[in-house]
């Protein structure tokens, strides 16, 4: 039986992401860390063909209904897969440098300005002790924004109260240590400069249009 999930190739080369993400860090992060999550998730799902074909968003937002024996692996490795998918798609090697459209208006309303958002995002990332993720999340109707930082491979999709994320920044040292050592703030400011605002806006519009997979939002 084929695996439930594949590791999608990266949509870009490392070159244009430097110096925030260098070639070696990108390769280890994607082909090492992310692949390990996909492999662990596939191993856990192998005995459950009835779950194959279900999206990662559906598995996480419906975690409570999964067989008890695989809930922890789906929470951890599935959370890791979803978080990294969003991370890779949420950065770009060209395109707009700042939000526009509805998302720009919401950022201004909810954080005062794009600069206010950046400041709040870095602050939330620094306040998360240890490994984790910082997310820009919205509600299931795409009407309000919030910054949420979770430990480990925590997912904003998990019940109860799961919500879709528009963007995700990796706070694990494997994401930034080779370039920035312990300096998470500089990493996060660099990440903000790579954000694919077109992708975040597309996700917001898809959520508003109801193109959702339960609470999971549109396919990452």
Residues near Mn ion, by CB under 5 A: 33, 170, 172
Evaluate whether 206 touches 218 at the Cβ level (below 8 Å).
yes
Distance CA 197, CA 102 (A): 11
Across 45-144, the runs of DSSP E, i.e. the strands, are 132-138
If the CB atoms of residues 21 and 166 are measured against Mn ion, the closer one turns out to be: 21
Tell me how far, at minimum, the Cβ of 204 lies from Mn ion, in Å: 24
Report CA-CA distances (Å) from 66 to 39, 41, 88, 201.
18, 13, 27, 31
If the CB atoms of residues 48 and 172 are measured against Mn ion, the closer one turns out to be: 172
Tell me how far, at minimum, the Cβ of 187 lies from Mn ion, in Å: 12
Q: Cis omega (within 30 of 0) on the bond before 19? A: yes
DSSP per-residue codes, 147-184:
EEEEETT--TTSSSS---EEEEEE-SHHHHHHHHTT-H
If the CB atoms of residues 107 and 175 are measured against Mn ion, the closer one turns out to be: 175
If the CB atoms of residues 57 and 170 are measured against Mn ion, the closer one turns out to be: 170
Determine the residue with CB nearest Mn ion: 170
Tell me how far, at minimum, the Cβ of 95 lies from Mn ion, in Å: 23
Tell me how far, at minimum, the Cβ of 21 lies from Mn ion, in Å: 11
Tell me how far, at minimum, the Cβ of 216 lies from Mn ion, in Å: 20
Distance CA 201, CA 17 (A): 21
Give backbone dihedrals phi and psi of 30, rounded to 5 degrees, phi first: -80, -55
If the CB atoms of residues 86 and 147 are measured against Mn ion, the closer one turns out to be: 86
């Amino acid at each position: 039986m084929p695996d439930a999930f594949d590791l999608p190739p990266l949509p870009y080369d490392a070159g244009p992401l430097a110096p925030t993400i260098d070639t070696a860090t990108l390769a280890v992060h994607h082909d090492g860390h992310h692949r390990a999550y996909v492999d662990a998730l596939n191993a856990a799902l192998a005995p459950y063909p009835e779950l194959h074909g279900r999206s990662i968003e559906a598995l996480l937002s419906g975690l409570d209904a999964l067989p008890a024996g695989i809930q922890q692996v789906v929470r951890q490795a599935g959370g890791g897969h979803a978080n990294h998918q969003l991370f890779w798609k949420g950065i770009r090697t060209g395109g707009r440098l700042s939000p526009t459209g509805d998302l720009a208006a919401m950022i201004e309303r909810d954080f005062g300005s794009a600069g206010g958002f950046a400041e709040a995002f870095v602050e939330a990332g620094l306040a998360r002790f240890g490994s984790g993720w910082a997310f820009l999340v919205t509600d299931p109707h795409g009407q309000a924004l919030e910054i949420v930082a979770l430990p480990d491979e925590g997912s904003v999709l998990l019940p109860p109260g799961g919500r879709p994320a528009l963007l995700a920044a990796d706070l694990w040292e494997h994401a930034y240590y080779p370039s920035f050592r312990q300096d998470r703030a500089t990493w996060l400011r660099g990440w903000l400069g790579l954000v694919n605002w077109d992708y975040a806006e597309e996700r917001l519009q898809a959520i508003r249009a109801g193109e959702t997979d339960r609470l999971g939002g549109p396919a990452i």
